Amino acid sequence: MSAADPDFTLSNCRVAVVGLGLMGGSLALALRGRCRLLLGCDPDPAARELARACRAVDGVSADPAEILPQADLVVLAAPVRAILGLLADLPRLHPGQAVVLDLGSTKRAVVAAMQKLPPRLDALGGHPMCGREKGGLAAADPGLFAGRTFAFTALERTSPGARRLADELALALGARALWLDAVTHDRWTAATSHLPYLAANALAAVTPTEAAPLAGSGFSSSTRVAATPAGMMLDVLLTNRENVLAGLAQLQAQLARLESSLAQGDEAALRELLLAGAAQREILVPSAAAGNEHKA
């Protein structure tokens, strides 16, 4: 079945999820009973055993070549640099037609690699704006995507059928589909996800251990994303380096303004900076939606 088929819907799809960690596992759990066949692939024996035990998928393998030829929709749910390797090998792994979607946190390199796929592999980028600090299938949750934004980046070659399937997938997950180009996606996520990770990580790193008895909810919420697995974030940071560096420069400049005002004891200037920051947060995360904050 191809995306050009009028009956090409999620319920008729055979779906293969490559990578059964937090994101791929949550996606698989959310899709149970919503597609024709659900297959999984992961190199970790413990992940495969857990997938069998909790019936996250109808079948699971360590080898993508065993499951991908059966799939109408291939979902690449691995770290970004692993996704790039899978895309390079995908024409060999899947000899037929399929829609290919990734769940990586950066899009420019992924979309560039997708452009090189043969036309029979109908590709588009994806990034669900959700997550948790703990990874793995054990932390997976079928409700992880509910109420969240699911960003999609279409290629010029992406078919209307593939776009419809992406919209249907987001709807089935309870997510909000947002279509944007890869350059914009990576610039925005550098500001809303990758820079906050670095700021949280730096704050945690400079906080003395002896202060732990006074580390309350404010410190916990401010540094929460610092617990994100470093291996995953290395992929993200290195594939979005230019945007993250630009964000770091802006953050350092703002911190310098705060430092200067505080060092000079300039209460009026310090107040203005603090109020401006609070006002900008209200624009970005309105109080009415405060309970829907998340990391990406």
User: Which pLDDT tens digit goes with each residue over 136-157?
Assistant: 898 899 999 999 999 999 999 9
Is the pLDDT at 92 greater than 60? The verdict is yes
Give whole-number Cα distances, 128 to 56, 81, 151, 243, 293, in Å: 19, 17, 6, 19, 14
- Mean pLDDT across the stretch 26-36? 95
Residue 243 near residue 190 (C-beta atoms within 8 A):
yes
Q: What is the mean pLDDT of the chain?
A: 93
Question: pTM for the complete prediction?
Answer: 0.91
**Residue 225 pLDDT class (50, 70, 90 cuts):** very high
**Residue 290 pLDDT class (50, 70, 90 cuts):** very low
Is the pLDDT at 10 greater than 90? The verdict is yes
> How high is the pLDDT of residue 294?
43
> How high is the pLDDT of residue 293?
43
Domains with residue ranges and CATH for the chain = 10-180 (3.40.50.720), 185-292 (1.10.3660.10)
- Mean pLDDT across the stretch 22-33? 95
Is the pLDDT at 288 greater than 60? The verdict is no
> How high is the pLDDT of residue 292?
43
User: Which pLDDT tens digit goes with each residue over 262-284?
Assistant: 999 999 999 999 999 999 999 99
Phi, then psi, of 76 in degrees rounded to 5 = -95, 105
Is the pLDDT at 1 greater than 70? The verdict is no
Is the pLDDT at 160 greater than 80? The verdict is yes
User: Which pLDDT tens digit goes with each residue over 173-182?
Assistant: 999 999 999 9
Partners of 162 in the β-ladder:
none
Give whole-number Cα distances, 247 to 71, 202, 254, 296, in Å: 39, 14, 11, 16
